[in-house]
């Protein structure tokens, strides 16, 4: 009975968290916001993952994301928008990955 009440409370709290994120226009933790080829031939990918608190991490990875991959460069940003802008800088403007993510 205690486990049932605790699970019910957890579900209510999760619903409140989801509503708060929606109100703040932020994504859930580990949500992939961006996934594009960094080099035009899918050897390296640029990934943006939300942290669940309004920030996000932009990474350049190689391999089979999200299962088996190596991170070449990564940077945490305070906002999801800043992380997305960095990813677009790398992919769309062909900016140096090291310069953008250092």
Model pLDDT for residues 31-42, shown as the tens digit of each residue = 999 999 987 777
Residue 8 resides in a domain: no
Q: Could you tell me if residue 21 is inside a domain?
A: no
Q: Is residue 11 part of a domain?
A: no
CB 33 within 8 A of CB 83: yes
Considering the domain boundaries, does residue 84 fall inside one? yes
**Maximum separation of any 2 CA atoms in the chain, in Å:** 58
Q: Please write down the long-range contacts of 36-39, taking CB distance under 8 Å and 24 or more positions apart.
A: 36/87, 36/91, 37/91, 38/90, 38/91, 38/97
Cis (ω within 30 of 0) for the bond into 66?
Answer: yes
Q: What is the pLDDT of residue 94?
A: 87
pLDDT average, residue stretch 53-68: 94
Q: Domain containing 49: what range? A: 27-100
Domains: count for the chain? 1
Asked whether residue 63 is domain-assigned, the answer is yes
């Amino acid at each position: 009975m205690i486990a049932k009440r605790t699970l019910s409370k957890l579900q209510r709290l999760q619903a409140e968290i989801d509503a708060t994120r929606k109100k703040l226009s932020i994504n859930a933790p580990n949500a992939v916001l961006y996934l594009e080829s960094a080099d035009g031939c899918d050897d390296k990918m640029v990934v943006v993952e939300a942290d669940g608190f309004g920030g996000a991490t932009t990474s350049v990875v190689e391999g089979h994301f999200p299962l088996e991959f190596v991170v070449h460069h990564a940077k945490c940003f305070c906002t999801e928008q800043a992380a997305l802008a960095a990813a677009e800088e790398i992919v769309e403007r062909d900016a140096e990955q090291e310069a953008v993510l250092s």
